[in-house]
Amino acid sequence: MSRYVKEKIVAEYADRFGGVSDVAVVNAEGIDANRMVALRQTLRERGIQAMRVQNRLARLAVREGDLAGLEGLFDGPTTLVWGAESIVDLAKVLTDEAKDISQLEIRGGVSGGQVLSKQQVEDLSRLPSREELIGQVVGRAVGQAGRIISLAMAGGGRLLAQIREIEKKGPAEGGEAPAEAETAETPAESGEKPSEAEAAEAPAEPAEGSADEASKET
């Protein structure tokens, strides 16, 4: 391989991994063609890319930047995997695929400039992914809102029940407004004759002509 070709490959690696901060290193040697095609398809569906690299030239391309230190994992056939939203998502996918593909070996990776061992990548795969964390936060928020609504509705229901109970009972005892006193009617207004007792108590009125008779007798 000429020097010019090597330089072009190094430039391609540098361009491909420029700006990438989360990368996993795997050994896919020994995986048959059909399974490899299926694996690449699975990774693409998750927005993940995989590329087999030449170790010596890849070391030159990643010795600076966020992937510095990754070259220590370039030992034997090397495939770099990247493109997930986080190293946790990347670790989850690779760990799940490794359960079905025994030839898929996870060597380690790098995240934010920190080199990760194989064990650390496997440990990361057991953490909740970004989507799972969002789901947990949303679930808790919805649960809290549901409890608040339930409490509010329960309080309103109790108040409504009390109002209905009061309406059934009606005004409290002794709380009725006194009826307006009826205006007393005089006997004259009522048209009724006075009783004998009332007539006896009333002073007698002199009979007509009695005064004249008395004056004549004198």
With a cut of 80, say whether residue 9 has pLDDT above it. yes
Q: Say if pTM beats, i.e. exceeds, 0.75.
A: no
Task: Give pLDDT, residue 116.
Answer: 94
pLDDT in tens, 148-203: 666 556 666 666 677 777 777 765 554 454 444 444 444 444 445 555 545 445 45
Q: What is the pLDDT of residue 69?
A: 87
Structural domain spans, the chain: 3-127, 128-169
The sign one gets for the Cα dihedral 56, 60, 64, 67 is negative
Residues 6+ apart with CB under 8 A from 99: none
Give the residue, 164 or 60, on which the prediction is more confident. Answer: 60
Work out the pLDDT band at 91, boundaries 50, 70, 90.
Answer: very high
pLDDT of residue 36: 92
**Residue whose C-alpha is closest to residue 67's, from 10, 115, 127:** 115
Over the Cα atoms of the chain, what is R_g? Answer: 52
Q: Reduce the secondary structure of the chain to three states and give it as a string.
A: CCHHHHHHHHHHHHHHCCCCCEEEEEECCCCCHHHHHHHHHHHHHCCCEEEEECHHHHHHHHCCCCCCCHHHHCCCCEEEEECCCCHHHHHHHHHHHHHHCCCCEEEEEEECCEEEEHHHHHHHCCCCCHHHHHHHHHHHHHHHHHHHHHHHHHHHHHHHHHHHHHHHHCCCCCCCCCCCCCCCCCHHHHCCCCCHHHHHHCCCCCCCCHHHHHHHHC
User: What CATH topology corresponds to 3-127?
Assistant: Alpha-Beta Plaits (3.30.70)
Q: Chain-wide mean pLDDT for the chain?
A: 76
